[in-house]
Chains A and B, each alone.
Chain A
Amino acid sequence: MLLVTCPYCGPRPEIEFRCGGEAHIARPAEPSKLSDKEWAEFLFVRTNAKGVFAERWNHAHGCQRWFNALRDTASDRFIQTYKVGEKRPDRTPGQERL
C-alpha cells in the first residue's frame, strides 16, 4: 500500500485516497468550439506513461481536497505532491526519493 503525502495532511495510507488519473488536462473553456475529434481526445485520450507521471489524487477519507502528484509509474515512488493550481514541478526521474 502506497504512502501518499497529502499537501495538507502529510503522509497518509493509500486507502484514504482516490486516484483520479492524469493531471493537467484542463476542461476546455468553450467545449462547443471544439471539433468532435478534439473533444473525443479531451474525453478519452490519456498518456499512460511509464516513468514519471503527473496524476490527480483526492484525499477522499481525509481533508477531501484534490491535489496533484508526480509518481514514477514503474517504481511507484512519489517524487512530489502539490496543490491544485500549482505548476507541475520540473523533475527528472533521477530525483525520486525513497
Chain B
Amino acid sequence: MLKTSHAAHRDLSLPIEQPVTRPDTKAQVVIRPLPAQARFSLRLNEADLEGAQTAAGVTLDIPINTRSGSAERSSIRLGPNEWLLTGPYDDAEVIASQIDAALSGRFYTLVDVSHRNVGITVSGRRAAEVLNSGCPLDLAEAAFPTGMATRTLMGKAEIVLMRLDDTPTYQVECWRSFSTYVRDYLIEAAREFEPSIA
C-alpha cells in the first residue's frame, strides 16, 4: 500500500509499548492496546452469501455476532449483512484483492477502516467484571463464550466486543477518537482488582 519513498510515519492513537497493567501471570486483569491491524468493513447481502462461504482465508458464513479465524485473519459478523475483517496491517492489499476475487460478480462493498478502529485487549480472571462496568451485556460463559463478537457499548462509547479465548481474553474495538476514553474507563474499572495500575 505504501510507496517506497514515504516520508511520513505512523502515530498510533494509543501507545502500545507498555501494557497498562502488570503483564505477569498473577495479574487479575491486563489491559493492553493492540498494534495496528488491517481492517475492512465488508457488506454483503445474506442472499449473496450462497457460494461464498469463505473468502480471504476466513469464513463468512457464520452466525451473526460470532467471530471466526485466528489472530492472523478473522471475520466478525456484526449483522446480517455486515462483517469486520481483520488481518496483519501489511496484508491489507492482499486481503482486499482476495475478497474481490472471492466475491466478484456479487453486489458487495469493501471499505478500508484500518485507521478508524483501535483495539484493546482485556484479559485475566476479572476481565468480564471490568468490562461489565460499562458494557451492559451478559458476559458469562454460557451467554458470551469464546467466539462471540458484537457491537455494543462501553460507558458512553460504542465498541465491538469479542471474546478471543478462554483465559478469558476479550478484544474491545472502538473508533480512534474514543480510544482514550475507552482505555481510561477500563483502567478505572480495573483499579480495584489491579492496584498496580498507575
Contact = CB atoms under 8 A, between A and B. Distances in A.
Nearest to A1: B136
B80 A8 contact: yes
Contacts of B65: 9, 63
A13 B152 CA distance: 10
Contacts, number: 37
Contact of B78 (A12, A15, A16, A63): A63
Contact of B80 (A12, A16, A63): A63
B176 interface: no
B151 A63 contact: yes
Q: How large is the interface on A (under 10, 10 to 19, 20 to 34, 35 or more residues)?
A: 10 to 19
Contacts of B150: 9, 62-63
Contacts of A9: 64-65, 150
B153 A61 contact: yes
Contacts of A15: 136, 153
A65 B64 CA distance: 12
Contacts of B79: 8, 62-65
B129 interface: no
B91 interface: no
A95 B111 CA distance: 45
Interface in A1-42: 8-9, 12-13, 15-16
B152 A63 contact: no
Nearest to B153: A61
A62 B82 contact: no
B136 A63 contact: no
Nearest to B79: A63
B41 to A, nearest CB: 11
Interface of B: 64-65, 78-80, 82, 136-137, 150-153, 158
